[in-house]
């Protein structure tokens, strides 16, 4: 009787393992796709007057700045500097939003990754793992 019970438990464990492994494979495939999409992500923003255009990547890294010839009319370096900075910041903010959206599409709900991208707080990223690991620890 014990041998049959052990076999039943083993079958249940194997089925649970197969399920978890299948979820892992699906997540891994999704992460490969996410990585490709993030590498290709480009966000472009233009200043209100159209004189400055900035393009950034998924991590907000500056890829290109374009200036129209009209910028030479003003001849005010401080104004131009602020305009360039504001345009790059707008593009970086939009890239962060787009990155968050892509990650949210690819990650399981409650994974903490999306919250981490919003807040930059590692405790949100590790909170779920800590909770899971805490369940497995013996309580004194």
Verify that 48 and 102 share a domain, yes or no: yes
Residue 23 host element (H or E): helix 2-40
Verify that 87 and 127 share a domain, yes or no: no
Note the pLDDT tens digit of each residue in 30-78.
778 888 899 999 999 999 999 999 999 999 999 999 999 999 888 899 9
Nearest to 96 by CA among 115, 117, 65: 117
How crowded is residue 95: how many other Cβ atoms within 10 Å of its Cβ?
24
C-alpha distances out from residue 110 to 6, 26, 90, 121, 123, Å: 34, 16, 28, 15, 13
For residue 20, is it within any domain?
no
DSSP-assigned beta bridge partners for residue 39: none
For residue 121, is it within any domain?
yes
Alpha-carbon 57 to chain mean position:
12
| pTM reported for the whole predicted model | 0.66
Please provide the average confidence, as pLDDT, over all residues in the chain: 82
Work out the pLDDT band at 125, boundaries 50, 70, 90. low
């Amino acid at each position: 009787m014990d041998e049959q019970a052990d076999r039943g438990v083993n079958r249940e464990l194997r089925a649970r393992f197969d399920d978890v492994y299948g979820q892992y494979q699906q997540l891994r495939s999704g992460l490969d796709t996410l990585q490709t999409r993030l590498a290709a992500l480009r966000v472009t923003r233009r200043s209100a007057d159209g004189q400055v255009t900035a393009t950034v990547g998924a991590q907000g890294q500056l890829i290109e700045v374009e200036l129209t010839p009209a910028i030479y009319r003003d001849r005010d370096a401080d104004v131009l500097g602020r305009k360039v900075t504001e345009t790059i910041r707008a593009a970086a903010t939009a890239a962060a939003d787009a990155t968050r959206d892509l990650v949210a599409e690819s990650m399981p709900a409650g994974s903490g990754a999306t919250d981490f991208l919003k807040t930059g707080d590692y405790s949100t990223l590790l909170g779920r793992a800590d909770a899971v690991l805490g369940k497995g620890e013996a309580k004194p």
